[in-house]
Amino acid sequence: MEGETSLFETSEMVAAFLASTPLLSESWSLCRSTTATAASAETFTVSRAGDVSYVAFSGVQAFGVLDPGCGNLVAVDGGVFSVLRHHVEADEEAEEPVMVHAGMLSLFHSMLKYTNFESQMYEIIKQSKSVVFTGHSIGGTIASLSTLWLLSYLQSISSPLNVLCITFGSPLLSNESLSKFILQERWGGHFWHVVAKHDIVPRLLLAPLSPLTQLHALLQYWHLSMTSAQLPVTGQDFCSLAQNAALRQDIVVQLPDEEKNRLFLFVLACAEASAKAGRSGRCSFFWPFGNYVFCTNEGAVCMDDGAAVVNLMHLMLVTGNASSSIEDHLKYEYYVEKVSMQFLKRTGFVEGEFFESSYEAGVTLALQSSEIASHELVSGPARDCLRTAVRMGRAPNLKSANLAIALSKITPLRAQIEWYKASCDKSNDQMGYYDTFKLRGASKRDAKVNMNRIKLAQFWDSLIRMLETNQLSHDFHKRSKWVNASQFYKLLVEPLDIADYYRSRGMHREKGHYLKHGRERRYVIFDRWWRNRKVGEEENTKRSRYASLTQDSCFWARVEEAREWIENVRSESDMRKLAMLWENIHKFERYARKIVERKEVSRDVLAENSSYSLWVKELSELKSQMHQFPPRFPVFFEGESAP
């Protein structure tokens, strides 16, 4: 357990740091004042404190977006969030695109269209060093979308502006794809979501909205409560205050305890189901992103793992009731003050309580801050949840380090294949690397290379499984060490896989050609990694000599298809099929000529008896025959008609 104890960082450290700054109190103060202007149709306000600009969004501007009809997830518009468009284009294999709540996205688009939001943001970029977006309730989701929008824009102009988003009681906004995207971009630290212990709103979208018949009355109650809580109590506003109080009382009558309890139990059951799904790797419809700060009377707990966040949302709600889940949405001023006060106190343990490690002590501190007592039924699962969150935060880096060690251990296998390639290129038979392996015999050398090929495939397949099951850092595939290592592996070994596919067993005759029916998924993934890398200027320079490895790892598969096209041309009599065959042949001929001229192929491609050299000879002979013995129907090659 030494690795755990030495690397433990308690979540209370992060919570304490946030509480020690004026960020929480300042953000909440602005949320409160912005809500007070809701009646004047102000959707956001901007204020400055030195070099820091604050942008606060009203929490009561349009509670109707939580109505069932607006609750669907929709794909994010790549025109507004340009960086997301590039992400979708780059990740064709993503299970689903980045999607957000339809109603909230509509609110954000309306703000862009009908207010001076954009112009004010451009002024902030010019005049400020930092910007803090903040919002309570629905305003928190608009703050998150605004942060995402600004981060996308700043990335396109390479601006050094610091951006932070602090939300209070914000509903969930998006699917898991956005969470993954934010982690890959390393934007997680920009988003901080403050959640009161029992507040039902951040948990609300874990449940389908259509059965929630009580929701409309509840939204009205929150709306009126937040508005009247901000109204001055002097002059003409006494009337407004009295009217709101009367309306709230009417709503309470419309929503009796039985209905509130039914709503609470329904959301609680859905939260439990989402927590179970998250632990098994199956995410719910909506999913958290960024950092979550759970506030209680005893302090705060911070975590950034989505599954752990949903799990703690459920476990904390278990300790509440219908009334506390509704009232907690209106108590963020109290919790912000409480967290700041708790920072000034020193948290202690029960006398005589000892721990095996600082790791266990930190988990106990976090459990204290969650205000879940040790005698409560959920204390055991809560402790496990906190342990899981800590492990998930550390494990990816540890596993990445272990993978680096494993990569160094398989380097000799790769080196042996490189030696094999060099010896093939120098061989007197002039067949080259690909054809030598394709026509290999039963020698120890050939068997050794084949075994190395299989072992390397197992290593890279295992790595991909770890990445796809969130065992590695979310930006792992962007790290140059692994992008370059996977590319070199692909260029070196995929020609051997193609050779094995077209070997005497003739798998292509049973399954179809390699490119569509035989290519392993790992190579498709490595293509995407390489395509999305940051390209240096040196990569655009013209080659002065042939590449050590052919830069198109599928080149030999294209050669095999082209050879079959020539065979088919000799026997095909259908005019349209014949024209299509010639079109394919000419397309490959132009492509091959281009990469040879650019020296993007290895010398083995041009070996006298390589499959490519033989194909060039076959094509030349076929063209000669076409001129000497005109076919029954005209065909086209090199843009000219053969009568």
| Structure confidence at residue 343 as a pLDDT band (50, 70, 90) | low
The distance between the two most distant Cα atoms of the chain, rounded to a whole number of Å, is 105
Mean pLDDT throughout 141-150?
95
Please state, for a pLDDT cut of 90, what percent of the chain lies above it.
Answer: 42
Map out the domains of the chain as residue ranges. 11-229+252-344, 399-533+544-628
**pLDDT at residue 392, as a whole number:** 52
User: One of 136, 190, 193, 329 is an active-site residue; which one?
Assistant: 329
- Three-state secondary-structure class, residue 333: helix
Distances (CA, A) of 184 to 21, 181, 478, 486: 28, 5, 8, 18
Please spell the DSSP secondary structure of 40-94, one letter per residue. Answer: GT--EEEEEETTEEEEEE-SSS-GGGGSGGG--EEEPPTTTSHHHHHHHHH-TT-
Structure tokens, 93: 């294999």
Task: Please report how many Cα atoms fall inside a 13 Å half-sphere around the Cα of residue 84, on the Cβ side.
Answer: 24
**pLDDT at residue 592, as a whole number:** 95
| Structure confidence at residue 212 as a pLDDT band (50, 70, 90) | low
Cα dihedral across residues 194, 197, 203, 204: positive or negative: negative
Mean pLDDT throughout 464-489?
87
User: Is it the case that residue 238 has pLDDT exceeding 50?
Assistant: no
Is the pTM higher than 0.75? The answer reads no
**pLDDT at residue 595, as a whole number:** 95
User: Is it the case that residue 374 has pLDDT exceeding 80?
Assistant: no
**pLDDT at residue 640, as a whole number:** 47
**pLDDT at residue 63, as a whole number:** 55
Name the least confident of 14-23, 52-61, 300-309, 369-378. 14-23
What pLDDT digit, counting tens, does each position of 549-583 carry?
999 999 999 999 999 999 998 888 888 988 999 99
The beta-strand segments (E) located in 203-298 are 291-296
Mean pLDDT throughout 242-268?
68
Residue 243 neighbours by CB under 8 Å, 6+ apart: none
User: Is it the case that residue 12 has pLDDT exceeding 60?
Assistant: no
Instruction: Report the alpha-carbon distance of residue 152 to residue 505 in Å, rounded.
Output: 51
User: What is the radius of gyration, based on Cα positions, of the chain?
Assistant: 32
| Structure confidence at residue 388 as a pLDDT band (50, 70, 90) | low
Name the least confident of 155-159, 445-449, 470-474, 578-582. 470-474
Instruction: Report the alpha-carbon distance of residue 570 to residue 286 in Å, rounded.
Output: 58
**pLDDT at residue 13, as a whole number:** 58
User: One of 177, 199, 314, 369 is an active-site residue; which one?
Assistant: 199
User: One of 137, 177, 553, 602 is an active-site residue; which one?
Assistant: 137
Cα dihedral across residues 391, 396, 402, 403: positive or negative: positive
Instruction: Report the alpha-carbon distance of residue 122 to residue 127 in Å, rounded.
Output: 9
User: Is it the case that residue 638 has pLDDT exceeding 50?
Assistant: no
| Structure confidence at residue 504 as a pLDDT band (50, 70, 90) | low
Q: Residue 120 burial by CB count (10 A; 0-12/13-18/19+): exposed, middle or buried?
A: middle
| Structure confidence at residue 477 as a pLDDT band (50, 70, 90) | confident
Instruction: Report the alpha-carbon distance of residue 472 to residue 450 in Å, rounded.
Output: 29
Residue with tokens 């050094």: 160
User: Is it the case that residue 632 has pLDDT exceeding 60?
Assistant: no
- Least Cα distance to 559 among 618, 506, 599, 507 occurs for 618
Mean pLDDT throughout 503-509?
70
Q: Decide if 137 is catalytic.
A: yes
Mean pLDDT throughout 322-349?
78
Distances (CA, A) of 473 to 185, 464, 466: 11, 12, 10
**pLDDT at residue 228, as a whole number:** 62
Mean pLDDT throughout 347-362?
51
Who wins on pLDDT, 351 or 582? 582
- Three-state secondary-structure class, residue 403: helix
User: Is it the case that residue 110 has pLDDT exceeding 70?
Assistant: yes
CATH number of 11-229+252-344: 3.40.50
- Torsion, Cα 313 315 321 325, to 10 degrees, reads -10
Who wins on pLDDT, 419 or 570? 419
Name the least confident of 244-258, 398-412, 495-509, 612-626. 244-258
Across the chain, mean pLDDT equals 81
Q: Decide if 199 is catalytic.
A: yes
| Structure confidence at residue 234 as a pLDDT band (50, 70, 90) | very low
Distances (CA, A) of 479 to 281, 408, 486, 522: 25, 16, 11, 17
Please state, for a pLDDT cut of 70, what percent of the chain lies above it.
Answer: 75
Name the least confident of 14-23, 563-572, 600-609. 14-23
| Structure confidence at residue 229 as a pLDDT band (50, 70, 90) | low
Q: Decide if 425 is catalytic.
A: no
| Structure confidence at residue 4 as a pLDDT band (50, 70, 90) | very low
User: Is it the case that residue 7 has pLDDT exceeding 50?
Assistant: no
- Least Cα distance to 579 among 516, 639, 508 occurs for 639
User: Is it the case that residue 72 has pLDDT exceeding 50?
Assistant: yes
Distances (CA, A) of 444 to 419, 440, 466, 619, 643: 14, 11, 33, 36, 54
Contact predicate 396/1, CB 8 Å: no
DSSP state of 287: B
